[in-house]
Amino acid sequence: MDDLSRRLIDAFPGYTVRKDLVKQVRGNAAVPSYVLEYLLGQYCSTDDEQEVAEGIEAVKNILAKHYVQRSEATLVRSHIRESEYQRVIDKVHVDLNEKRDAYEATFENLGIKQVLVDSATVRANQRLLVSGVWCIADLSYIANEAKDESPFVLDKLKPIQLPLFDFDEYVQARSKFTSEEWLDVIIRTVGLDPELLGHRSKLFLVTRLVCYCERNYNLIELGPKGTGKSHVFSEFSPHGILISGGEVTPAKLFVNNASGKIGLVGYWDCVGFDEFAGKQKRPGKDIVDILKNYMANKAFSRGVEQVTAEAALAFLGNTSHDVGYLLKNADLFDDLPDLYHDPAFLDRFHAYIPGWEIDVVRGEMFCETQGLIVDYLAEALRHLRTLDYSNGFCKWFELSRSLSTRDRDGVCKTFSGLMKVLFPGEDATKEEARDLLEFSMELRCRVKDQIYRIDGTFERVENSYKDLETGAVKVVTTLEEQEYPSFYHSRDLVPMKGGCASPLGPRIPETYRPDSSAAEPAPAAMGSSAEAEPHASNSSLKTGLVSYRENQRGVSYDLLFGPYLEGARNIEIVDPYVRNFYQVRNVMEVLEAVLRHRDYSVETIKVHLATAPDEHGEPGKQEMYLRQVAEAVASQGVEFTWDMDDPNIHARHIKIDNGWDILLDRGLDIWQRFDANDAFAIENRVQEARMVKQFEVTYLREEG
DSSP-derived secondary structure letter, 616:
S
Q: Between vectors from CA 130 to CA 125 and to CA 136, what angle results, nearest 5°?
A: 50
From the list 181, 185, 345, 175, the residue with the least C-alpha distance to 276 is 345
How many helices (H) and strands (E) the chain has is answered by 23, 27
DSSP per residue, 191-226: TB-GGGS-HHHHHHHHHHHHHHHSTT-EEEEEE-TT
Q: Is the domain covering 70-159 a CATH 2.40.50 domain?
A: yes
In whole angstroms, what is the distance from residue 219 CA to residue 232 CA?
13
From the list 657, 663, 561, 664, the residue with the least C-alpha distance to 608 is 657
Residue ranges per structural domain of the chain: 3-13+166-384, 70-159, 558-701
- Confidence at residue 704, expressed as pLDDT on a 0 to 100 scale: 58
Q: Between vectors from CA 411 to CA 182 and to CA 384, what angle results, nearest 5°?
A: 45
In whole angstroms, what is the distance from residue 232 CA to residue 161 CA?
16
In whole angstroms, what is the distance from residue 241 CA to residue 256 CA?
18
Say if 3-13+166-384 and 558-701 have the same CATH topology.
Answer: no
In whole angstroms, what is the distance from residue 646 CA to residue 650 CA?
9
Please state which of the four CATH numbers 1.10.620, 2.60.120, 1.10.10, 3.40.50 is assigned to the domain occupying 3-13+166-384. 3.40.50
88 contact partners, CB below 8 Å, separation of at least 6: 66, 67, 68, 76, 107, 110, 136, 137, 139
DSSP per residue, 440-466: HHHHHHHHHHHHHHH-TTSPP---EEE
Residues, the chain: 704
638 contact partners, CB below 8 Å, separation of at least 6: 591, 594, 595, 598, 604, 605, 606, 607
Helical residues (DSSP H) of 548-580, grouped into ranges: 557-561
In whole angstroms, what is the distance from residue 493 CA to residue 17 CA?
53
In whole angstroms, what is the distance from residue 183 CA to residue 436 CA?
12
Written in H, E and C, the secondary structure of 393-418 is CCCCEEECCCCCHHHHHHHHHHHHHH
Helix (H, G, I), strand (E, B) or coil at 252: helix
Contact 608, 657 (CB under 8 A): no
- Confidence at residue 496, expressed as pLDDT on a 0 to 100 scale: 31
In whole angstroms, what is the distance from residue 363 CA to residue 382 CA?
30
The bridge status of strand 370-372 relative to strand 16-18 is antiparallel
In whole angstroms, what is the distance from residue 630 CA to residue 607 CA?
10
Average pLDDT by consecutive 10-residue portion of the chain (704 residues)? Answer: 91 90 78 82 79 87 86 89 86 89 92 90 82 85 79 88 84 97 96 93 96 96 92 86 81 82 89 91 86 91 80 94 90 93 95 94 88 91 95 96 94 98 97 97 95 84 93 94 82 38 36 38 42 44 91 93 92 94 95 90 90 83 93 92 86 93 95 86 91 94 76
List phi, psi (to 5°) of 638.
-115, 120
In whole angstroms, what is the distance from residue 54 CA to residue 59 CA?
9
User: Which contiguous run of DSSP H or E holds residue 353?
Assistant: strand 351-354
User: Which contiguous run of DSSP H or E holds residue 266?
Assistant: none
* Residue 131 backbone class (left: φ over 0; alpha: ψ -120 to 50; beta: rest): left
644 contact partners, CB below 8 Å, separation of at least 6: 611, 612, 613, 622
From the list 299, 309, 312, the residue with the least C-alpha distance to 269 is 312
DSSP per residue, 129-189: GTT-EEEEEEEEE-----TTS-SEEEEEEEESS-S---HHHHHHHHTTS-HHHHHHHHHHH
Contact 108, 212 (CB under 8 A): no
Please state which of the four CATH numbers 3.30.870.30, 3.40.50.620, 3.40.50.300, 1.20.120.1200 is assigned to the domain occupying 558-701. 3.30.870.30
- Confidence at residue 360, expressed as pLDDT on a 0 to 100 scale: 87
94 to 208, 310, 618: CA distances (angstroms): 29, 22, 60
List phi, psi (to 5°) of 47.
-100, 5
- Confidence at residue 304, expressed as pLDDT on a 0 to 100 scale: 64
- Confidence at residue 522, expressed as pLDDT on a 0 to 100 scale: 42
Percent of the chain with pLDDT over 70: 91
Strand partners, 240: 270
From the list 425, 416, 378, the residue with the least C-alpha distance to 186 is 378
Cβ-in-10-Å burial (0-12, 13-18, 19+) of 464 comes to middle
- Type of residue at 672: Q
User: How far is CA 84 from its chain centroid?
Assistant: 48
Helix (H, G, I), strand (E, B) or coil at 346: helix
In whole angstroms, what is the distance from residue 645 CA to residue 465 CA?
48
